[in-house]
């Protein structure tokens, strides 16, 4: 495995900010990172900020703007991409072919789908690449593992679904936590207390599921005493597959938006 020497970041916002936080916590030196922003930006201590496009070449460039802004930055960014550079993109929906069309000279292009928990080193990172050398694949795997885990895919047709589950997923979980708190409040709990109970309960339950030898299904069975309280609640979630159906619709809607964004980028490319 080769350590990364330098990375240019274009679009230093919520997502790539969380990634850099995770990489710094994992021990990557801040000097490795250069952030380009034409209007300037607060960056962590030791990270270089540039307001003009750099002329040197980088081991990796990380694209972190909104997907519809890809073509605003691609021409300038292309100057920092050599035939030894890997282009990493966190842009939802933007396909490898669309990246390759903008960066034909790059050695490798990678869709790198993290989530905000990478700031804590706890994100499952969806990855798919094209043109990567073994060295680059090792470097990207290491970068992903420093943020949680590396989940390589071979079939790009599933990437938007991985994005929906693992990238958008925290948004769905936060909505679930909020809904638990709202439901508790509606039924009589103090609002602040309901919020605290919901967050700590989900934190503990997720940590237990991650460590346990048992599947989440078995863990649910262990919580539910026959004829007890939990089973009555599970019966509501399970009736006519209500929760599974709701989440299937949720992931389908998110996934299909990815396909729409992919088509928009394909047309422009």
The residue number with the shortest CB distance to ligand NDP is 13
Closest CB to ligand NDP among 39 and 186? 39
Distance of alpha carbon 60 from alpha carbon 63, whole angstroms: 10
Residue from 43, 92, 94, 150 in contact with ligand A1CAB (CB under 6 A): 92
Residue 140 interacting partner from ligand A1CAB, ligand NDP, none (CB closer than 5 to 8 Å by kind): none
What secondary structure, in 3-state letters, does the chain show?
Answer: CCCCCCEEEECCCHHHHHHHHHHHHCCCCHHHEEEECCCCCCCCCCCEEECCCCCCCCCEEEECCCHHHHHHHHHHHHCCCCCCCEEEECCCCCCHHHHHHHCCCCCEEEEEECCHHHHHCCEEEEEEEECCCHHHHHHHHHHHHCCEEEEECCCHHHHHHHHHHHHCHHHHHHHHHHHHHHHHHHCCCCHHHHHHHHHHHHHHHHHHHHHCCCCHHHHHHHHCCCCCHHHHHHHHHHHHHHHHHHHHHHHHHHHHHHHHHHHHHHHHC
Residue 91 interacting partner from ligand A1CAB, ligand NDP, none (CB closer than 5 to 8 Å by kind): ligand NDP
Residue where the block lists tokens 């609640």? 233
Distance of alpha carbon 103 from alpha carbon 90, whole angstroms: 15
The residue number with the shortest CB distance to ligand A1CAB is 167
Closest CB to ligand A1CAB among 36 and 159? 159
Residue 69 interacting partner from ligand NDP, ligand A1CAB, none (CB closer than 5 to 8 Å by kind): ligand NDP
Residue 89 makes contact with ligand A1CAB by CB under 6 A: no
Closest CB to ligand NDP among 65 and 143? 65
Q: Which residues contact 71 (CB under 8 A, 6 or more apart)?
A: 102, 268
Residue 163 makes contact with ligand A1CAB by CB under 6 A: yes
Q: From the CB of 78, what's the least distance to ligand NDP, in Å?
A: 14
Total residues binding ligand A1CAB (CB under 6 A): 4
Q: From the CB of 118, what's the least distance to ligand A1CAB, in Å?
A: 12
Closest CB to ligand NDP among 46 and 75? 75
Cβ–Cβ under 8 Å, residues 78 and 58: no
Closest CB to ligand A1CAB among 89 and 163? 163
Q: From the CB of 157, what's the least distance to ligand A1CAB, in Å?
A: 17
Closest CB to ligand A1CAB among 6 and 168? 168
- Contact residues toward ligand NDP (CB under 6 A) are 10-15, 36-39, 64-67, 69, 72-73, 90-92, 113-116, 167
Closest CB to ligand NDP among 79 and 222? 79
Residue from 108, 124, 129, 167 in contact with ligand A1CAB (CB under 6 A): 167
């Amino acid at each position: 495995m080769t350590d990364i020497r330098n990375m240019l970041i274009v679009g230093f916002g919520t997502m790539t900010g969380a990634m850099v936080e995770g990489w710094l916590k994992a021990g990557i030196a801040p000097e490795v990172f250069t952030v380009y922003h034409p209007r300037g930006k607060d960056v962590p201590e030791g990270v270089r900020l540039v307001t003009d496009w750099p002329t040197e070449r980088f081991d990796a460039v990380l694209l972190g703007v909104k997907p519809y802004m890809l073509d605003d930055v691609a021409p300038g960014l292309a100057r920092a991409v050599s035939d030894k550079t890997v282009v990493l993109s966190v842009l939802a929906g933007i396909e490898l072919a669309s990246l390759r069309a903008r960066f034909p000279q790059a050695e490798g292009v990678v869709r790198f789908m993290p989530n905000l928990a990478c700031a804590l080193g706890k994100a499952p990172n969806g990855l798919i690449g094209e043109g990567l050398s073994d060295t680059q694949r090792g470097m990207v795997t290491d970068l992903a593992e420093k943020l949680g885990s590396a989940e390589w895919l071979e079939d790009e047709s599933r990437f938007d679904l991985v994005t929906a589950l693992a990238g958008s997923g925290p948004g769905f979980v936060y909505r679930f936590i909020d809904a638990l708190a709202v439901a508790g409040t509606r039924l009589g709990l103090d609002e602040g207390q309901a919020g605290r109970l919901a967050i700590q309960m989900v934190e503990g339950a997720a940590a237990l599921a991650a460590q346990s030898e048992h599947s989440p299904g078995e863990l649910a069975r262990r919580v539910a005493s026959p004829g007890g309280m939990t089973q009555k609640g599970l019966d509501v979630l399970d009736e006519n597959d209500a929760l599974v159906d709701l989440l299937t619709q949720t992931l389908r809607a998110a996934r299909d938006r990815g396909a729409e964004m992919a088509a928009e980028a394909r047309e422009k490319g």
